[in-house]
Amino acid sequence: MMSSSDDNVALSMIDGNIDQDDDMPLSQISSKSTDTTSVDSNSTEGQKSGSKRKASSPTGHKAKKVKRSKNTVKSESDEENTPLASTTAPPPKKTSKKKSESGTAKPRNGTKKSKGAKSTGSNKTDAVKKEDEVAKTEKDPSSTREDEEDEEKYKWWEAEDVDGEQKWESLEHNGVIFPPDYEPLPSHVKLYYDGKPVDLPLEAEEVAGFFGAMAETDHAKNPTFQKNFFEDFCKVLKDAGGCNVNIIDFHRMDFSKMHAHFEMLRDQKKLLSKDEKKAIKAEKDKFEEPYKTCLLNGHKEQVGNFRIEPPGLFRGRGAHPKTGKLKRRVMPEDVTLNLSEGCKIPEPPQGHKWAEVRHDNTVSWLAMWKENIADSFKYVRFAANSSIKGLSDFKKFETSRKLRYHIDEIRKDYTKMLKDPLMQNRQMATACYLIDIFALRAGGEKGDDEADTVGCCSLRYEHITLKPPNKVIFDFLGKDSIRFYQEVEVEKQVFKNLRIFKKPPKQPGDDLFDRISPPLLNKQFQNYMKGLTAKVFRTYNASKTMQDQLDLIPNEGTVAEKVVKFNAANRTVAILCNHQRTVSKTHGSSVQKIHDKLKELEWHKIRTKKMILQLEPNLKTKDPDYFEELDDLSKEDTEHIHRALIERAREAARKRFQRENDKLKIEDKPLLTEKDLEEKMEKVNELEKEYAEELKTGKPQIKKSVTVEKLKSQVDTLTNRILNTTFQLKDKEDNSEVSLGTSKMNYIDPRLTVMFSKKFNVPIEKLFTKTLRDKFNWAIESADENWKF
DNA sequence: CCCGTGACTTAGGAAAGGGGAA
DNA sequence: TTCCCCTTTCCTAAGTCACGGG
Q: How sure is the predictor about A552, in pLDDT bands with cuts at 50, 70 and 90?
A: very high
Query: Would you say the C-alpha torsion A572, A574, A577, A583 has a positive or negative sign?
Result: negative
DSSP A738: B
Rounded to whole angstroms, the Cα distance separating A416 from A222 reads 48
CA of A308 to C1' of C10 (A): 13
Question: Omega of the bond prior to A469 within 30 degrees of 0, cis?
Answer: yes
CA of A542 to C1' of B4 (A): 32
Tell me, yes or no, whether A218 and A315 share the same domain: no
Q: Per mean pLDDT, which range of A30-44, A448-462, A539-553, A593-607 is the poorest?
A: A30-44
**Domain-embedded: residue A454:** yes
The arithmetic mean of pLDDT across residues A224-237, rounded, is 97
**Domain-embedded: residue A789:** no
Tell me, yes or no, whether A252 and A328 share the same domain: no
Question: Which nt has its C1' nearest the CA of A538?
Answer: B10
The pLDDT value recorded for residue A582 is: 83
CB proximity list for A257: less than 8 A, separation 6 or greater: A189, A190, A191, A192
Tell me, yes or no, whether A208 and A312 share the same domain: no
Q: How sure is the predictor about A697, in pLDDT bands with cuts at 50, 70 and 90?
A: confident
The answer, yes or no, to whether residue A650 has pLDDT greater than 80, is no
Tell me, yes or no, whether A259 and A303 share the same domain: no
Contact A201, A240 (CB under 8 A): yes
**Domain-embedded: residue A745:** no
Burial class (CB in 10 A: 0-12, 13-18, 19+), A211: buried
Separation of first and last alpha carbons in chain A: 43
The arithmetic mean of pLDDT across residues A629-638, rounded, is 76
Rounded to whole angstroms, the Cα distance separating A227 from A220 reads 10
CB proximity list for A767: less than 8 A, separation 6 or greater: A563, A566, A753, A756, A757
Give the CATH number, domain containing residue A461: 3.90.15.10
Q: How sure is the predictor about A163, in pLDDT bands with cuts at 50, 70 and 90?
A: low
Tell me, yes or no, whether A413 and A514 share the same domain: yes
Question: Which nt has its C1' nearest the CA of A384?
Answer: B9
The arithmetic mean of pLDDT across residues A301-305, rounded, is 95
CA of A112 to C1' of C21 (A): 47
CA of A690 to C1' of C4 (A): 31
Domain boundary pick from A689, A714, A736: A736
Question: Which nt has its C1' nearest the CA of A304?
Answer: C10
The pLDDT value recorded for residue A737 is: 87
- Report which of residues A320 and A43 the model is more confident about: A320
**Which nucleotides of chain C have an atom under 7 angstroms from any protein CB?**
5-19
Task: Give how many domains chain A has, as a whole number.
Answer: 4
The answer, yes or no, to whether residue A96 has pLDDT greater than 50, is no
How many residues does this entry show for chain A? Answer: 789
Give the CATH number, domain containing residue A324: 2.170.11.10
Domain boundary pick from A342, A358, A383: A383
Rounded to whole angstroms, the Cα distance separating A55 from A413 reads 35
The answer, yes or no, to whether residue A99 has pLDDT greater than 80, is no
Tell me, yes or no, whether A669 and A609 share the same domain: yes
Tell me, yes or no, whether A592 and A692 share the same domain: yes
**Domain-embedded: residue A400:** yes
Q: Per mean pLDDT, which range of A364-373, A377-386, A623-632, A759-768 is the poorest?
A: A623-632
CA of A444 to C1' of B4 (A): 14
The pLDDT value recorded for residue A585 is: 73
Q: What is the rounded average pLDDT for all residues in chain A? A: 79
Domain boundary pick from A508, A532, A556: A532
> Is A747 a residue of the active site?
yes
Residues A755-768 pLDDT 10s: 999 999 999 999 99
Question: Omega of the bond prior to A505 within 30 degrees of 0, cis?
Answer: yes
**Domain-embedded: residue A787:** no
The one catalytic residue in A414, A461, A528, A747 is A747
Tell me, yes or no, whether A363 and A411 share the same domain: no
Contact A178, A349 (CB under 8 A): yes
DSSP string for A459-476: -BGGGEEEETTTEEEEEE
List the one residue out of A630, A604, A599, A605 whose CA is nearest residue A617: A630
List the one residue out of A122, A133, A126 whose CA is nearest residue A106: A126
Give the CATH number, domain containing residue A266: 1.10.10.41
Residue percentage of chain A with pLDDT more than 70? 76
The pLDDT value recorded for residue A659 is: 61
CA of A446 to C1' of B4 (A): 13
CB proximity list for A714: less than 8 A, separation 6 or greater: A608
Residues A14-71 pLDDT 10s: 443 444 445 555 555 444 333 333 333 333 333 333 333 333 333 344 433 333 333 3
**Domain-embedded: residue A338:** yes
> What does R_g of chain A's alpha carbons equal in angstroms?
33
- Report which of residues A483 and A717 the model is more confident about: A483
CA closest to C1' of C13 belongs to A316
CB proximity list for A638: less than 8 A, separation 6 or greater: A603, A695
Domain that residue A343 falls in: 172-178+286-383
CA closest to C1' of B12 belongs to A581
**Domain-embedded: residue A389:** no
**Domain-embedded: residue A42:** no
List the one residue out of A173, A582, A218, A214 whose CA is nearest residue A345: A173
* Residue A165, CA distances (Å) to A168, A297, A298, A361, A745 in order: 9, 15, 19, 9, 26
The answer, yes or no, to whether residue A785 has pLDDT greater than 50, is yes
* Residue A365, CA distances (Å) to A354, A361, A380, A393, A621 in order: 16, 9, 6, 16, 77
The pLDDT value recorded for residue A11 is: 38
The answer, yes or no, to whether residue A356 has pLDDT greater than 90, is yes
Tell me, yes or no, whether A378 and A412 share the same domain: no
* Residue A464, CA distances (Å) to A214, A500, A508 in order: 37, 12, 10
Q: Per mean pLDDT, which range of A239-243, A294-298, A675-679 is the poorest?
A: A675-679
Question: Which nt has its C1' nearest the CA of A179?
Answer: C11
Rounded to whole angstroms, the Cα distance separating A304 from A676 reads 58
DSSP A68: P
The pLDDT value recorded for residue A256 is: 94
CA A565: distance to chain centroid? 21
DSSP string for A108-138: -S---SGGGGSTT-S---SHHHHH--S----
Rounded to whole angstroms, the Cα distance separating A617 from A699 reads 12
The answer, yes or no, to whether residue A700 has pLDDT greater than 90, is no
The pLDDT value recorded for residue A381 is: 96
- Report which of residues A756 and A733 the model is more confident about: A756
Q: Per mean pLDDT, which range of A375-384, A620-629, A774-783 is the poorest?
A: A620-629
The pLDDT value recorded for residue A153 is: 57
Question: Which nt has its C1' nearest the CA of A732?
Answer: C6
DSSP string for A517-563: -HHHHHHHHHHHSTT--HHHHHHHHHHHHHHHHHHHS-S-S-HHHHH
CA of A477 to C1' of B14 (A): 22
Backbone angles phi, psi at A14, to 5 degrees: -80, 160
The pLDDT value recorded for residue A117 is: 33
User: Which residues bind near strand B, taking a CB cut-off of 7 Å?
Assistant: A 67, 69-71, 74, 167, 217-218, 281, 317, 360, 362-365, 368, 376-377, 379, 381, 389, 392-393, 396, 441, 479-480, 482, 535, 538-539, 577-582, 652, 739, 741-743, 746-747
Contact A358, A338 (CB under 8 A): yes
CA closest to C1' of B1 belongs to A71
Q: What is the pTM for the complete model shown?
A: 0.76
Contact A466, A7 (CB under 8 A): yes
CA of A316 to C1' of C17 (A): 23
**Which nucleotides of chain B have an atom under 7 angstroms from any protein CB?**
1-4, 6-14, 17, 22
The pLDDT value recorded for residue A777 is: 95
Tell me, yes or no, whether A596 and A653 share the same domain: yes
Q: Per mean pLDDT, which range of A224-233, A402-411, A645-654, A705-714 is the poorest?
A: A645-654
Collapsed DSSP state (helix, strand, coil) of residue A163: coil
Question: Which nt has its C1' nearest the CA of A535?
Answer: C16
Q: Per mean pLDDT, which range of A87-96, A538-547, A591-600, A608-617 is the poorest?
A: A87-96
Tell me, yes or no, whether A373 and A405 share the same domain: no
The answer, yes or no, to whether residue A526 has pLDDT greater than 60, is yes
CA closest to C1' of B7 belongs to A363
Tell me, yes or no, whether A309 and A246 share the same domain: no
- Report which of residues A416 and A732 the model is more confident about: A416
The answer, yes or no, to whether residue A1 has pLDDT greater than 70, is no
